[in-house]
Amino acid sequence: MKTFLWSVTGFLALIWSGLAWAAAGLVRWTVEALSTGRAAELGKTAVEFKFPAWLEPFLDTGLLEAAQAVVQWLLEMAGTGAPMAGTAIGWLVPLVWIGWALGLTVLVVIALVLHQLIKRLPGTGGPVAPALR
């Protein structure tokens, strides 16, 4: 039971670390795209994208056009903050890793508490409660 607990904890820690690594990369890429102006080009491409005609019966085109308008608006708004985006990378990526450390700490603390509870279960080699009379 303890082996299973720590195996699951290790697996979850690997997943959590991978997600943090991906988030840090995404934050870095997003900030660099905003500061260099590539995000505006990407926004234009996203807005100009047209779905194939055979796919239109399966999609709500009005909703997709609204989503494209929202993406365009967000990227236009982000474009105004592009000069300060370069400085944001200096604190956003470390913030991601601080979140990773806090999450991993919570995961290990939960595993330690469960480990202690498993040790107290009868038949697991831990202390056994005296029989009731």
What's the pLDDT tens digit per position in 12-34? 999 999 999 999 998 888 777 77
As a whole number of angstroms, the distance between CA 77 and CA 130 comes to: 68
pLDDT at 60: 76
- Mean pLDDT, rounded, of the chain: 81
Percentage of residues of the chain with pLDDT beyond 90: 35
Residue 114: pLDDT above 80?
yes
- What is the dihedral sign for C-alpha 15, 18, 24, 30? negative
pLDDT at 12: 96
- Whether residue 11 lies inside any domain: the answer is no
Give the number of domains in the chain.
1
pTM of the model: 0.63
- Whether residue 58 lies inside any domain: the answer is yes
Task: State which residues form the domain around 58.
Answer: 20-119
- Whether residue 111 lies inside any domain: the answer is yes
